[in-house]
């Protein structure tokens, strides 16, 4: 909702001031379809050439997320840390082998099924179970597992930022394609130099609309969209860092209550529950 309101305010102010100062909106509207086809057609074609199919698919999948609220809320993090507490508490009381069934088949695990939102997120489930499996096997120490976790988080970060970088490159290209559209308009105008000044003036105005649209679409539409999606992507990485910190604290000998406190501390302050909130929620669950 905020995204739509932001776009409406931005476009309303730009075009509203133009009309208020006597600008002829008809000139812009008449040139709009042709200029948009030239600019967006050229930019999207170059966008397709500039990115691998997997990045194109990821970008198409990511863009609708801008219109949705973030799923990384305080409630989700409370569930995440309660899930980790339950698993680590079971391992502490009954031994690491007691959680083997939960790790091998998380979809049938009573612990995971207590938290359906997390159990349906395959990224979270895979990250948690993969490293719990390593802990159960006992073949790797905490430093080795930490190194593996860092490598996986870096890979996740690179994959998640590939569509963000693609959108940023698209935003950077749009002003150039606006200039291309304007140059084509000027070429068309120069081929009609025998026309009356009123006709030539309209043709030049139409050509300049291309430059205007290229800059407006780049800095008023696409770049803000990329910035928002980048912030949402950073939130997804923070969840993995929370899991990593909690599991490593457990491997270093801290009890489950202290381990999840380590995980709580890495969260952004806007979503981080207080110590009392976390303790109360874990006891309740």
**pLDDT at residue 199, rounded to an integer:** 67
Averaged pLDDT, 17-41:
82
**pLDDT at residue 161, rounded to an integer:** 92
Which two structure tokens, joined as six digits, stand for 16?
Answer: 């509203």
Tens digits of residue pLDDT in 33-91? 888 888 988 999 999 999 999 999 999 999 888 888 888 999 999 999 999 999 999 98
Q: 25: number of CA atoms within 13 Å, CB side?
A: 10
Average pLDDT in the chain: 88
Whether 39 contacts 174, CB under 8 Å: yes
Separation of alpha carbons 27 and 36, rounded Å: 14
**pLDDT at residue 31, rounded to an integer:** 76
DSSP 8-state assignment for residue 195: S
Listing DSSP states for 217-245 in one string gives HIIIIIHHHHHHHHHHHHHHHHHHHHHHH
Averaged pLDDT, 238-267:
93
**pLDDT at residue 115, rounded to an integer:** 92
| Residue burial 16-40, b: 16+ Cβ < 10 Å; e: rest | eeeeeeeeeeeebeebeeebeebbb
Tens digits of residue pLDDT in 166-205? 999 999 999 999 988 888 877 777 777 667 766 667 677 7
**pLDDT at residue 26, rounded to an integer:** 79
Q: Predicted confidence band at 18 (pLDDT cuts at 50, 70, 90)?
A: confident
> What are the boundaries of each domain within the chain?
26-285
Reply yes or no on whether the pLDDT at 111 is more than 70: yes
Separation of alpha carbons 104 and 118, rounded Å: 16
Q: pTM for this structure?
A: 0.81
Tens digits of residue pLDDT in 213-223? 899 999 999 99
Of residues 21 and 73, more confidently modeled: 73
Q: What percent of the chain has pLDDT over 70?
A: 97
**pLDDT at residue 247, rounded to an integer:** 94
> Who's near 92: CB < 8 A, 6+ residues apart?
255, 256
Q: Predicted confidence band at 274 (pLDDT cuts at 50, 70, 90)?
A: very high
């Amino acid at each position: 909702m905020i995204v739509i309101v932001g776009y409406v305010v931005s476009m309303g102010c730009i075009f509203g001031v133009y009309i208020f100062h006597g600008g002829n909106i008809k000139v812009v509207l008449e040139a709009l379809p042709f200029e948009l086809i030239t600019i967006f057609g050229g930019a999207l074609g170059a966008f397709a050439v500039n990115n691998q199919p997997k990045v194109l698919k990821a970008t198409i999948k990511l863009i609708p997320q801008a219109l949705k609220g973030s799923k990384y809320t305080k409630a989700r993090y409370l569930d995440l840390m309660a899930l980790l507490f339950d698993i680590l508490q079971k391992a502490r009381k009954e031994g690491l082998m007691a959680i083997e069934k939960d790790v091998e088949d998380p979809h049938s695990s009573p612990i995971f099924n207590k938290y359906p939102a997390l159990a349906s997120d395959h990224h979270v489930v895979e990250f948690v179970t993969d490293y719990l499996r390593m802990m159960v096997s006992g073949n790797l120490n905490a430093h080795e597992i930490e190194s593996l976790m860092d490598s996986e988080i870096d890979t996740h970060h690179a994959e998640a930022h590939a569509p963000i970088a693609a959108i940023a490159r698209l935003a950077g290209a749009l002003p150039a394609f606006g200039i291309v559209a304007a140059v084509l308009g000027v070429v068309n105008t120069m081929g009609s130099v025998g026309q009356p000044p009123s006709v030539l003036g309209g043709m030049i105005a139409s050509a300049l609309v291309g430059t205007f649209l290229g800059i407006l679409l780049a800095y008023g539409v696409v770049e803000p969209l990329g910035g928002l999606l980048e912030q949402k992507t950073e939130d997804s990485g923070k969840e993995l860092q929370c899991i990593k910190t909690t599991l490593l604290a457990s491997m270093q000998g801290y009890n489950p209550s202290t381990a999840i406190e380590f995980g709580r501390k890495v969260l952004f302050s806007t979503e981080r529950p207080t110590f009392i909130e976390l303790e109360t929620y874990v006891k309740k669950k």
